[in-house]
Amino acid sequence: MKKVSTYLPSLILSVILVFLLIISSAILLVDINISASKLKNLAARNDLESKIYTDLNKYYNDKYNTTGIPADVYMNSISNSYLKSVEEAYIDSAFDALNGDGKFNVNVPSNKKLNESIDQFFNDFADENNYEKDDNFGLKLRNTKEGAYNTIGSYCDVYKFSAMSNHGVLSKLAKLYSNRLLATAAALGATVFIILLLMLINHKKKITTLYWCGISAIISGILGGAPSIYLLAVKYFDSFSIKQAPVFTAFTSAMYKYTEAFMAVQMAFIVIGISLVVIYGVTHEKKKYPDTKPTDIN
């Protein structure tokens, strides 16, 4: 292993392998963990619908002095199951955009009870105050319904896909996300290729490949695992600036989940790396000091 003709190329390739292992694991985790179903399950696990309902109720109570419409007109017609359907509509639309051209279009599910509740309030108000149900009345009614759906959608968009779309982030992410399978294959292929090169360079002593791969796995595990452990230990994501309960919970739980998954992979790399180095060491020692049979004495 100490020969320059094999040692130096092996060292260079092992350094490249370190970064390829980190990149490959990160891309693979994105491919496995970031999907519409995963985000829906994460939202359900954190009971985001209840938090959204609480925030919406507070919003409409605060708006009563401005609009004159009691919060019950809205809230008595909104259930957690309805909020969940709106939340999932935003997630599905976002992943349609990510898998397509990046254009985000969402249709908030209609709520018959909500429509009827707003209709009844406006009609009762008009009847009690002798307000003419003219075009202006119809316009205010339509605007109130539209505003209600926009508000509900805004609160249910816990991952803020609309904001990402408005700032052009979603369209940029779509270019990466739609090519994630190709990126995963390329990263894994490059990793395998480097390992094969190590085997080729050390063909006279193939067992040495275990050493280089083991060292690379250990170093990549340390480089990738240390920051992850730090982020989890100091609860870094708790400093997330948006304190709206559903949004805060959605983002922090997602970031902690993915950080924990990445850390687990890096810890596995360290264990695998140590195992490879130990196997190399044991095998190398046996070849260096082969068992000898005692010479017969006549």
pTM value is 0.83
Q: How far apart are CA 36 and CA 88, in angstroms?
A: 8
Taking only Cα atoms into account, the Rg of the chain, rounded to an integer number of angstroms, comes to 30
So what's the pLDDT on residue 192? Answer: 95
So what's the pLDDT on residue 296? Answer: 42
Q: How far apart are CA 11 and CA 23, in angstroms?
A: 19
Q: How far apart are CA 187 and CA 23, in angstroms?
A: 7
Report whether pLDDT(295) > 80. Answer: no
pLDDT in tens, 63-121: 998 889 999 999 999 999 999 999 999 999 999 999 888 889 998 899 999 999 999 99
Dihedral of alpha carbons 84, 89, 95, 99, sign = positive
pLDDT in tens, 116-127: 999 999 999 898
pLDDT in tens, 268-287: 999 999 999 999 988 866 65
